[in-house]
Amino acid sequence: MIAAPWYIAIYLQQGQDFVDGFILKHNVARFTDTFEGHGGNIFYYIPVLLLMLLPFTGLFIQLLRKRPLIAIEPLERYCWITFGFVFVFFSFSGTQLPHYLLYGFSPLLLLLCTQLEQLRSKLLALIPALILPLIFLLLPELLYTAAAQMDNAHQQAMLTASIDSADLSYRLLTIGAAIATAGLLFLNRAALWQRLVAAGLIQALLLAWAVLPLLAKIQQQPIKDAAVIAAEKSAPLVLWKAHLPSFVTYTQRPVQRRAPKSGDVVLTRLQHQSKLAAHEVLFSANGIVLVQML
């Protein structure tokens, strides 16, 4: 009843194209086939779930240990069924992405809340909470190492730049977050669930102040820098073999998506530069290339 008006309105506007594109392609076909190389296996969502729950993974382990399915209340059974359906359904899907599990997270979080007062093991509660700050601490090196596994020149250049992009403030924030999270192990005056919430707050602040700015610097800053240069040019702006809508936002000018012509200012990815006719490079960083056609 909630979704039906939207489906009806879009169908009236788009007709059969909506059925073919949204329902048949992006729902049915994504389940039966692998899209964009995002395949996996039936066990794919087990490690994904444990990582996505951080720093509250210990609560999930506690839930599995202390709440056998035969001894639960109706609301808990409903939550298990709702989460379980999502987990099992996407485990058998041909296309698998981590965020698909989010559709079943709300009932799972309600189940985790039932374990806050029952949690007694300090190690079970707080050792998982240490994992993500340590991953963030080593993230630039992990991304740099992953670059060697990439066939895509743009992705390789972007990941290779991760170490240089991680400045002193990033290192200090990640080290500080890891130390603060470890310190919660010894803060015996606070209840375990309070320390777990504190770990979650530390993790959220670290994401906002360090990790997301680092990823933005790696991925978005080159596009923004290229846009500053492109905005000063009077020639037509063209996006070629690259879907980078932020370039339009940064330039505040119309940007066309077509084959480059003589005189155009073109933004593309590094792996496509060699396919361009004669051109002058105006900017190149992290796999993003801005050129002017000659």
CB atoms near residue 9 (< 10 Å): 11
**3-state helix, strand and coil shares in percent for the chain, rounded to the nearest 5:** 65, 10, 30
- The model's confidence at residue 35, banded by pLDDT at 50, 70 and 90, is low
Q: What is the pLDDT of residue 69?
A: 61
Over residues 160-218, the pLDDT tens digits come to: 999 989 999 999 999 999 999 999 988 888 888 889 999 999 999 999 999 999 999 99
Over residues 106-140, the pLDDT tens digits come to: 999 999 988 888 888 888 888 988 999 999 999 99
User: Which are the contacts of 255, defined by CB distance < 8 A and separation ≥ 6?
Assistant: 237, 238, 239, 247, 248, 267
Nearest to 289 by CA among 240, 251, 250, 248: 240
- The model's confidence at residue 149, banded by pLDDT at 50, 70 and 90, is confident
CA 230 to the chain's CA centroid: 29
Q: Which whole number is the average pLDDT over 51-78?
A: 82
Global confidence as pTM: 0.76
For residue 153, which amino acid is it?
A: A
Over residues 215-243, the pLDDT tens digits come to: 999 989 999 999 999 999 999 999 998 88
Q: What is the pLDDT of residue 36?
A: 58
Burial 189-204 (b: 16+ CB within 10 A, else e): eeebbebbebbbebbe
Report d(CA 162, CA 156) in Å as an integer. Answer: 10
- 148/4: higher pLDDT: 4
Q: What is the pLDDT of residue 135?
A: 93
